[in-house]
Structures are given as structure tokens and as C-alpha cells.
């Protein structure tokens, strides 16, 4: 593991117990928090999750969450009714930004959620979780309220596969973790890089592309690294995560989407942040300090002229 990651684990890897609700609320002030649940046919679990968040984090005593939104991804069961009855605002995916027709996929839903929420902090929680604890939300939102230098926080947890301890997160262990360790070793410290519970500043999320399918977690994590740097990323241990498991064929399709998302970023090279900061000494100030100047690095490229229709008809001077 890189020394940088060793240090990161010392500085940016916490437990939910490290920040009491009182401490988090004491520094929340005017910062607003939105919780988003992407939901496709989750009638069996979405209601309990919404109820727990409403009861424990949206009360007069603990006003941590300002808005709780379930984005219905085209469910054919009673997801929308159950979520609304439990106290969530429910928005149909296809009602958001209809100018751009929606495509199937989790990332599509998360991307659209940004258009119908308003929190300075946005917290994503899967809607298929069982034995859900409010710690999942307070744990990952907490650092974003107490640590101004943190912009993106992932939950980490044990992931049983049914009764088999630690056997969950199959695509994480077989695809995502190897990919990240080989190509983005700075992210090797993330225990659950694909976990569906994560929170981030809206000011970061609105600058990132969202892969429309299951590549969204890997894409956001890699792009967050390149946009704000490792020290602005963090993770919080919130215990054990139990959720509905898809079959191997479905996870194969998920793996393909995740690999594609990685390959797309690798094909761009590692340059995602076209900025250049130079320094010049400020001779005017008494401290004669160095002043940073940051410039955009143009990354646009024109296509080969042979590919431009007009090229074939050019006039030879």
C-alpha cells in the first residue's frame, strides 16, 4: 500500500462513534442535508429505511436531515406508495428533466436526483437495505459538517452474503478492488469502494459525470479523487450492511458496466484535472511570499482535418 494511503488511513478513516450527533448538530448551522434513496421495486424495504431516517434524524431533537427523497426508478410494485406513507417525498425518475429521456440504471437515478433536491450535502442510501441503522446516514454526513476539508465520504461495513460473513460485495472483491489497486492505488484504502451509501458536497457532485448504470460508484470515486484529491475523501465504519443480493448473471452485467467505466477513464489517461498552478513571488507584499496562479489547460483537440468534410474542398492558394 502506498505510504500516502497509509497516512490517509490514519487521517481520513473513521468510525461513526468518532462523531456524536450532538457534535455534528452543533456545527451544522445553515448547511442543509438531503438524503436520496434510488428505488426500483423496493416495496419490501424502502418503508423501514424512510421511517428510521424520519424518526431518528428528522426530529425536533435531531434535525440532521432536511429533506428525504425517494426517486422511483420505474417500479412496478408499491415502492412509491410505501415510501410516501413512511414520510418520504417521492419523485418519479421520468418526471425529472423530461427534455432528456431517462435510460435504465442506478446512476441515471442518482444524477437526476440532483435536479430535484436542494441540500448542500447529498447523501445516497440504497433502498434495499435490511436492518438499516440511522448511523449509515449520520456516520457519513458527519465529517462533511465537522471537517471543511472533506468533500466525499463513503460508508464502510461488513457485508455478509446471507448467513455467510464477509462474502458480500462480490463485484467489489472480484472486479472493483483489483481495478482500483492496479490503476488507482491511491484508492486502495477504501474498504467498500462500491458501497451504495455515500455522502458528498453538492458543489463537488455537480462537477462530476455520472455513469448511468452500476458504474456510478466507481466513476464518482475515481473522478472525485482526480477533482479534489485523496485528502478530501474519507470513509466511516458504520457496522454491518445487509441487502438484497442479485444473482451471478446480474452481477456479471454489473461487472461489465464497472469495467467499462474504468476503461473509459483509463483511455483518457490519468489527466482529468486540466488545471495548472504556477507560482510567482509577490515583490509588493512585505512577506515577499509566493503567490499561486491557476490556469485552465486547454484539453480540447480538433479532429484530423481529413475527417472534416470541408477539408476535401479546400482551395490550394
Ligand X SMILES: O=C(O)[C@@H](COP(=O)(O)O)O[C@H]1O[C@H](CO)[C@@H](O)[C@H](O)[C@H]1O
- Write out the residues near ligand UDP by the rule CB under 6 A: 38-40, 42, 73, 104-106, 109, 126-128, 196, 243-244, 246
Task: Mark out the alpha helices in the chain (DSSP H runs).
Answer: 3-12, 21-26, 46-57, 79-86, 106-113, 135-146, 170-171, 177-183, 202-205, 216-228, 248-267
User: Residue 50: CB partners within 8 Å, gap ≥ 6?
Assistant: 37, 68, 70, 83, 86, 87, 88
Q: How far apart are CA 282 and CA 290, in angstroms?
A: 6
The candidate with the shortest Cα–Cα distance to 155, out of 140, 170, 165, is: 140
57 binds, among ligand X, ligand UDP, none (CB under 5 to 8 A by kind): none
Q: Which is nearer to ligand X, 142 or 169 (CB)?
A: 169
CB 145 within 8 A of CB 24: yes
Contact call for residue 42 and ligand X (CB under 6 A): no
Please, which of residues 250-289 interact with ligand X by CB under 6 A?
251, 254
Bridge-based pairing of strands 233-240 and 121-124 is unpaired
119 binds, among ligand UDP, ligand X, none (CB under 5 to 8 A by kind): none
CB 35 within 8 A of CB 123: yes
Lay out the site mask for ligand X across 54-93 (x = CB under 6 A, - = otherwise): ----------------------------------------
Tally the residues of the chain: 317
109 binds, among ligand X, ligand UDP, none (CB under 5 to 8 A by kind): ligand UDP
- For residue 110, how many other CB atoms are within 10 A of its CB? 23
Interface with ligand X (CB under 6 A), residue total 19
Q: How far apart are CA 150 and CA 14, in angstroms?
A: 12
CB of 252 to ligand UDP, least distance (A): 12
CB of 184 to ligand UDP, least distance (A): 20
Task: Specify the stretch interacting with ligand X by CB under 6 A; choose among 24-32, 61-69, 97-105, 168-176.
Answer: 168-176
Q: Could you tell me the CA-to-CA distances from 175 to 183, 189, 193, 221, 254 in Å, in that order?
A: 12, 16, 11, 15, 10
Q: Which is nearer to ligand UDP, 55 or 244 (CB)?
A: 244
- State the DSSP H helix or E strand holding residue 158, giving kind and residue range, or none if neither: strand 152-158
Q: Which is nearer to ligand UDP, 109 or 155 (CB)?
A: 109
Lay out the site mask for ligand X across 114-153 (x = CB under 6 A, - = otherwise): ------------x---------------------------
Q: Which is nearer to ligand UDP, 54 or 273 (CB)?
A: 54
Q: Which is nearer to ligand UDP, 115 or 277 (CB)?
A: 115
- For residue 83, how many other CB atoms are within 10 A of its CB? 28
Task: Specify the stretch interacting with ligand X by CB under 6 A; choose among 50-58, 97-105, 178-186, 240-248.
Answer: 240-248
CB of 105 to ligand UDP, least distance (A): 5
Task: Specify the stretch interacting with ligand X by CB under 6 A; choose among 243-251, 266-274, 286-294, 308-316.
Answer: 243-251
Residues that bind ligand X (CB under 6 A): 106, 126, 159, 161, 168-172, 194-196, 214, 217, 243, 245-246, 251, 254
Amino acid at each position: 500500500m502506498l505510504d500516502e494511503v497509509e497516512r490517509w488511513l490514519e487521517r481520513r478513516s473513521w468510525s461513526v462513534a468518532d462523531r456524536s450527533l450532538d457534535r455534528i448538530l452543533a456545527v451544522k448551522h445553515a448547511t442543509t442535508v438531503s438524503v436520496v434513496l434510488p428505488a426500483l421495486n423496493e416495496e419490501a424495504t424502502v418503508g423501514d429505511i424512510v421511517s428510521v431516517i424520519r424518526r431518528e434524524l428528522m426530529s425536533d431533537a435531531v434535525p440532521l436531515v432536511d429533506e428525504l427523497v425517494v426517486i422511483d426508478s420505474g417500479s412496478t410494485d408499491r415502492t412509491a406508495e410505501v415510501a410516501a406513507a413512511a414520510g418520504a417525498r417521492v419523485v418519479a425518475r421520468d418526471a425529472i428533466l423530461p427534455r432528456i429521456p431517462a435510460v435504465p440504471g442506478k446512476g441515471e437515478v442518482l444524477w437526476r436526483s440532483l435536479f430535484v433536491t436542494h441540500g448542500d450535502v447529498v447523501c445516497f442510501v440504497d433502498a434495499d437495505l435490511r436492518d438499516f441503522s440511522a448511523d449509515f446516514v449520520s456516520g457519513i454526513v458527519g465529517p462533511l459538517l465537522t471537517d471543511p476539508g472533506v468533500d466525499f465520504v463513503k460508508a464502510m461495513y461488513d457485508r455478509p452474503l446471507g448467513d455467510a460473513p464477509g462474502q458480500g460485495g462480490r463485484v467489489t472483491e472480484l472486479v472493483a478492488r483489483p481495478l482500483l489497486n492496479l490503476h488507482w492505488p491511491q484508492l486502495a484504502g477504501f474498504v467498500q469502494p462500491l458501497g451504495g451509501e455515500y455522502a458528498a458536497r453538492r458543489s463537488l457532485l455537480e462537477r462530476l459525470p455520472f455513469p448511468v448504470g452500476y458504474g456510478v460508484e466507481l466513476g464518482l470515486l475515481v473522478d472525485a479523487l482526480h477533482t479534489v484529491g485523496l485528502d478530501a475523501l474519507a470513509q466511516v465504519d458504520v457496522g454491518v450492511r445487509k441487502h438484497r443480493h442479485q444473482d451471478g448473471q446480474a452481477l456479471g452485467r454489473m461487472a461489465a458496466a464497472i469495467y467499462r467505466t474504468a476503461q473509459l477513464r483509463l483511455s483518457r489517461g490519468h489527466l482529468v484535472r486540466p488545471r495548472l498552478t504556477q507560482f510567482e513571488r509577490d515583490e509588493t507584499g512585505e512577506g515577499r511570499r509566493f503567490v499561486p496562479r491557476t490556469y485552465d489547460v486547454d484539453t480540447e483537440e480538433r479532429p484530423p482535418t481529413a475527417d472534416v468534410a470541408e477539408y476535401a474542398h479546400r482551395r490550394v492558394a
